[in-house]
Amino acid sequence: MGLDKLLDEIRQRGESQLAEIAKATAASRTALNEERDRRVAAIGQELQRLADREAERERAQRLAGAKVRARKQVYEAKEQRANAALARSRAELTAFTKGPEYAQVLQRMYAYAVDRLGPKLKIRGRAEDATALKALAGKAFDDEPAPILGGLIAQSPDGARRLNLSFDELLRLNEDKIRQIVDA
């Protein structure tokens, strides 16, 4: 029986060691599973944070793009209104050149040019205004027609100084003011 007792003791010791190893393995497995779950949760949170950041960046880009498109549309609408106003102004000036007050305007322009550049000057204007300008300027009138809406272009005899009183130039010089008025 001594041998049976020894075998029982060895068997019990083996079983207890086996139980301890099983417990340690289960504890290790539980710890590894918890570590894995913690890492998976951390990776999931990081991915969610990255996805949220990317979605926010995309949303911001879309919003910025929409704002740029809106500004562009507003600018284009203002530009269309300004161009339409300038076209109307050109049409009004063209119509004005056919009226009786236009001859008086040409006289005032000629007087202003004489005042600024002196009595000896060259005058150019539209072909349609040749008769009126010849009557005003006499020999100082240059027969070469200028491609303008109306008004006149005065030049000193030596060509050093020039005074452009054409409607085109006056309109161009006041274009910014017209645009401001239209935009208001």
Residue 144 is part of a domain; what is its CATH number?
3.30.2320.30
Calculate the average pLDDT of the chain.
87
Q: Is residue 56 part of a domain?
A: no
How many domains is the chain built from? 1
What is the structure's pLDDT at 71? 94
**Roughly how many angstroms between the first and final C-alpha of the chain, as a whole number?**
117
Q: How many residues does the chain have?
A: 184
Q: Is residue 171 part of a domain?
A: yes
Burial 35-68 (b: 16+ CB within 10 A, else e): eeeeeeeeeeeeeeeeeeeeeeeeeeeeeeeeee
* Sign of the alpha-carbon torsion through 93, 99, 104, 106: positive
CB 150 within 8 Å of CB 102: yes
CB 92 within 8 Å of CB 142: no
- Band of pLDDT at residue 1, cut at 50, 70 and 90: low
How do residues 101-159 score in pLDDT, each as one tens digit?
A: 988 998 999 899 888 888 888 888 888 888 888 888 888 888 888 899 888 899 888 87
Q: Is residue 117 part of a domain?
A: yes
